[in-house]
Structure 1
Amino acid sequence: MVNVETALKEATTSIEGAIGAALVDYGSGMALGHVGGGKELDLTVAAAGNTDVVRAKVRTMEMLGLKDEIEDILITLGTQYHLIRLMKGRNSEGFFLYLALDRGRANLAMARHQLKKIEESLEV
């Protein structure tokens, strides 16, 4: 098991095209940790905004009566991918990993695969 800082550093260094990563509490919208971002992307604002996306999708699923779990949510921009992965571990419900990728350099399938591995090793 790895801690938040180690997991986020691994995401930004091992995933090709990573711009930044954050661990977010979607109850409060607060980032518990973040790495990268900078001038390209304010991860604190992204964490709060993507919390609204997660809440909306969870609420929609409830209204539709869907008895399923969200694995991840992908937002495709012209130059970036934004990947939101809801955590499922026993102490990690209510959190999501957020990863921003440069679309020109990223391999989306590999990024999803690596982010899942990081999520499985993360201890919140």
Structure 2
Amino acid sequence: MDSKQVQRAEKTIQAIRQELPELLAVAVIQIETGQSLAAYSALPALNPAKAAAHNAEVIKQKRRAIAALKLADERIDDILISLTTQAHLLRVSQDGARLFYLVVDNQDTNLAIARTILAQHSS
């Protein structure tokens, strides 16, 4: 793993945590390998690094679906997974190599603000 990528991912997580202190978890993941570059969780039971490969697979599968539909001019910006009490937001970096994974509580967080913050930091 490239140490510059890890440092950049750690800085991104710090910046997101400052702007969205109520978040439950956040991670930066290499899509191709499913490996977590950096992760943070406010809850011991919620391990975003452990979920990294699964979330990367969601992106890979959606990319396959886009290709099957011949949507050549389309790319994934983000995917929202709504759970009973949480929202899991997957955002792909502009170069398509990294996945930014954010978990927030539905009661405590404005989803539009969370999406905006994640978009600002997912370059």
Q: Name the CA distance, whole Å, in 1 between partners of 2:111 and 2:22.
A: 9
4+ residue runs over 4 A deviation: none
Partner of 1:66 in structure 2? 71
Which of 103, 107, 122 is the aligned partner of 1:104? 107
Q: CA deviation at 1:33?
A: 0.7
1:34 aligns with 2:39: yes
CA–CA separation in structure 2 for the residues paired with 1:80 and 1:107: 12
2:87 aligned partner, one-letter code: Y
The offset of 1:102, in angstroms, is 1.0
Query: What stretches of structure 1 of length at least 5 have no aligned partner?
Result: none
Residue type matched to 1:56 in 2? Q
Q: Over aligned residue pairs, what C-alpha RMSD do you find?
A: 1.6
- In structure 2, stretches of 5+ residues that fail to align are 1-6
How high is the sequence identity, in percent, across the aligned residues? 29
* TM-score for the superposition, normalised by structure 2: 0.86
Quick check: 2:38–2:49 contact (8 Å CA) kept in 1? Answer: no
Asked if the contact 2:36–2:52 (Cα under 8 Å) also holds between the matched residues in 1, the reply is yes
- Taking structure 1 as the reference length, the TM-score comes to 0.86
- Give the structure, 1 or 2, with the largest relative contact order (CA under 8 Å, sep 6 or more): 1
Contact 2:25 2:42 (8 Å CA) reproduced? yes
1:1-124 alignment to 2 at 5 Å? Answer: 3-15=8-20, 17-67=22-72, 68-89=74-95, 93-120=96-123
Give the aligned length.
116
